[in-house]
Amino acid sequence: MTEEMETEVVSVDAEDPDPAVIARAAEVIAGGGLVVVPTDTVYGLVCDPRQKRAVQSIYRVKGRDRNLPLALLLHDMSQAMTYASGAPEAAVRAMQHFWPGALTVVVKDRSDETAAVRARKDTVGLRLPAHVVPRLVARELGCALASTSANRSRHDSPLTAQQALADLKGLVPLVLDAGRTPLGEESTVVNFADDPPRVLRPGAISAERLREVLGEVKEG
């Protein structure tokens, strides 16, 4: 049973966030805590992927299947190569075209830092969000953010901080509220460890748009 705590809700400007708010979120995460952050797609529940106990907390609080991996939210394009092991040309092309944005790129992983988020798989999902808040938090923390949608499993992904609070109030120490998410739809997840690439989860970027850039893309 998860012990309840006081949840602090802090408003943050989606375009020009207060550095003190960013630093506060990074401080909580560095201390092993979970934070709800806005993204361009849906609100995310994030932690430090290097801290196994923090990652375990995400699974426990969310009620998430331990066989389902978490994704990593990056602070810039170059950070992808910290985690990707020999990313194929198609993955690089997708990053260049769709990032920052609503595409999660699944590639072979080479970092011991991500073992806790990979759910015993040899791949990791990477995304550079088109929202400044999670990117600045990741930069302040000094690593990518382990992330999943900020809701209990099998509930709708939250588009507002209030929706996230409906599920997670008392279960996380900090929620950053930047208003409604711009896209209101989850990212598209594409596995580039497969050839041709395969859509694992439909989302904000359609398969048709992917094919315009990548050529053959499988669905399902």
What residues make up the domain containing 125? 8-219
59 found inside a domain: yes
Contact 184, 42 (CB under 8 A): yes
The pLDDT score that the predictor gives to residue 3 is: 60
Q: Does the residue 184 lie in any domain? A: yes
CATH code where residue 19 lies: 3.90.870.10
Strand, helix or coil for residue 73: strand
pLDDT at 2: 55
Per-residue pLDDT reduced to its tens digit, 120-142:
899 999 999 999 999 999 999 99
Residue 201 lies in a domain: yes
Q: pLDDT tens digit string along 169-190?
A: 999 999 999 999 999 999 999 9
In a domain, 38, yes or no: yes
Flag whether 1 is in a domain: no
Q: Which residues of the chain have pLDDT under 70?
A: 1-3, 110
Give the count of domains, the chain: 1
**What are the residues facing 218 on neighbouring strands?**
198
* Position 2 in a domain: no
33 in a structural domain? yes
With contact defined as beta carbons under 8 Å apart, do 98 and 205 qualify? yes
Q: Is residue 154 part of a domain?
A: yes
**What single string gives the DSSP state of each residue in 158-170?**
PSSHHHHHHHHTT
pTM as predicted? 0.95
